Amino acid sequence: APLWCVIPAAGRGTRVGGDCPKQYLPLAGRALILHTLERLASHPRIAGLMVALAADDARWPGIAHMGGKPVLTTTGGGERADSVLAGLRALPADVGEHEFVLVHDAARPCVRAADIERLVELASAVEGGLLGAPLRDTLKRADERHRSVRTEPREQRWRAFTPQMFRRGQLVAALEAASRAGVPVSDEAMAMEHSGVAPLLVEGAEDNIKVTTAADFALAEFLLTRTG
């Protein structure tokens, strides 16, 4: 059955700068977040979207449907993990505890449909997983003055992307446990690791970038036309 997707979109985009959060800045003529939502809503594996927005968000366009699928919203929190947790809790009551749900950053508009497909197929055969890619570059350990003091092994080191996919109840429990323990988690997989689950890394395209700086907009515009 198709899955719900939670989209954390409550960030401030401080690394881009300016007073408009990056998810509402124009990308190829439309707000960045609309590209992300359209890509997700048009995917046959996805049943509906739950978008976590900042409490003071005045820019959300009030969309209730996209591609014939429901688009719901809720209020996010101070950290990304808080926004994801709010989104998970706000899912419709008929989304069961054991059902898999996806989590995808609003700031990743270039995700490929084929990678979502592979993630759902491979990670649903285990306890969940995430898109990522093995490191390509040589990895350095730096000191405080940016001197390279050591070369770290690149083997078995991956970059973590989204979507990430876990069972709704397990993910809520893992995020709540991390929060209670005061462990900051930068993604869902990290919360799952802390609860003793080893999420499956599914290799995805490197062009699934997280728009992070002002310069990333030009790159994302280029990548949008080449992915899909």
Contact residues for ligand CTP, defined by CB under 6 A = 8-15, 21, 23, 52, 76-80, 83, 105-107, 210, 212
Exposure letters 189-216 (e unless 16+ CB within 10 A, then b): bbbbeeeebebbbbebbebbbebeeeeb
What type of residue sits at position 103? V
* Contact string 7-26 vs Mg ion (x = CB under 5 A): ----x---------------
Q: Which residue has the tokens 């092994």?
A: 153
Give me the least distance between CB of 153 and ligand CTP, in Å please.
Answer: 27
Q: What is the size of the binding site for Mg ion (CB under 5 A)?
A: 1
The angle formed by the CA atoms of residues 194, 196 and 201, to the nearest 5 degrees, is 85
Instruction: CB nearer to Mg ion: give 11 or 87.
Output: 11
Among ligand CTP, Mg ion, none, what does residue 105 contact (CB within 5–8 Å per kind)?
A: ligand CTP
Instruction: CB nearer to Mg ion: give 106 or 120.
Output: 106
Instruction: CB nearer to ligand CTP: give 83 or 208.
Output: 83
- The 3-state DSSP class for residue 219 equals helix
Among Mg ion, ligand CTP, none, what does residue 165 contact (CB within 5–8 Å per kind)?
A: none
CA gap 191, 186 in Å, rounded? 8
